Amino acid sequence: MGISANSYGTLATAVVLSLTDNERQGRTMALYITGAALANIIGTSLTRALSSVLDWRSIFWILNMVMTSSLIYFKINLPQSQDSPAKVSIKNQLGLLKSRKTLLVLASTLIIFMGNGAFFNYITPYLLTLSPSLEPAMSFILFLQGAASFIGNLIGGHISDRIGFARSLLVGSAFQLALIVFIIAFRNIAWVSVMLTILWSMNIWFLGLQINTGIVQVTNNNSLMMSFKNSALQLGGAMGSSMAAMVISLSDIRVTTYITLLTSIVLLAMQLVSVKKLSYLR
């Protein structure tokens, strides 16, 4: 199931963007990510609700019906390519790793989600440590963070199409650094901390949109490189979470913000260097 689910994510992204004009790739990617996120939220909630009246086998049968219906829909509605399938050469695809632009996107993905894993995964205990009085409002705060994520994703798509993913990534990197500095500076003011973490969540999804659009554009929609991007995302999140867990066990949960601060500095430095050395901005 893990193989099929992760394979589908890469394939779906490639198919969606292959059907989209270049000037609309950012907005199309934002629409796809929004739909996938909503499906995850609805699916998780619905499964939890059904688990109280159905056993797990029945739920799996429902999932099988949903996936079969989707497969039938794709078969009927996805346009058939008129060209003969191109021969896939793993060696040629791996050759894309020699491109500095490809490596920069992959490295940026790793760094972004390392910082995200160190901070966002612990956002609830972090805020409650700063101010236990936030406990009654935490559900609403998490809802606002979710809404901010969708907004950041949608804004990211429009800005990416307007100024290009590289400039958008540079702007988002600068904004991320500024936000984490403010989060550290104003941690003693509860409502300011809440507002800043909401903005930070929005910016992470803004950056995520640029990464998804960027890997497509610098590799000409290469599926293997998109898989590497997904692997870098997951690896970065795991590394960030692990480092934060170690820091929490040795010190205090508030120290996790310094991991995110460090990754934000590295990320912005990478983008600034790329402007000069790679002619990265278009």
How do the domains of the chain map onto residue ranges?
Answer: 1-282
3-state helix/strand/coil string of 1-51: CHHHHHHHHHHHHHHHHHCCCHHHHHHHHHHHHHHHHHHHHHHHHHHHHHC
How confident is the model over 134-183, as pLDDT tens digits? Answer: 888 888 888 888 888 888 888 888 888 888 888 899 999 999 999 999 99
Residue 199, CA distances (Å) to 24, 58, 94 in order: 25, 40, 37
Closest alpha carbon to 129 in 138, 140, 116 = 138
Low-confidence ranges of the chain (pLDDT < 70): 81-93, 276-282
Residue 134: CB atoms within 10 A of its CB come to 18
Q: What pLDDT score was predicted for residue 79? A: 80
Q: What pLDDT score was predicted for residue 88? A: 60
Look at the pTM and tell me if it is higher than 0.85.
no
Q: What pLDDT score was predicted for residue 113? A: 92
CATH homologous superfamily for the domain 1-282: MFS general substrate transporter like domains (1.20.1250.20)
Closest alpha carbon to 109 in 214, 220, 193, 242 = 214
Residue 100, CA distances (Å) to 95, 146, 258 in order: 11, 34, 28
Exposure string of 160-198, with b = 16+ CB inside 10 Å and e = fewer, is bbeebbbbbbbbbbebbbbbbebbeeebeebeebbbbbb
Q: What is the mean pLDDT of the chain?
A: 85
Q: What pLDDT score was predicted for residue 258? A: 93
Q: What pLDDT score was predicted for residue 195? A: 94
Q: What pLDDT score was predicted for residue 276? A: 67
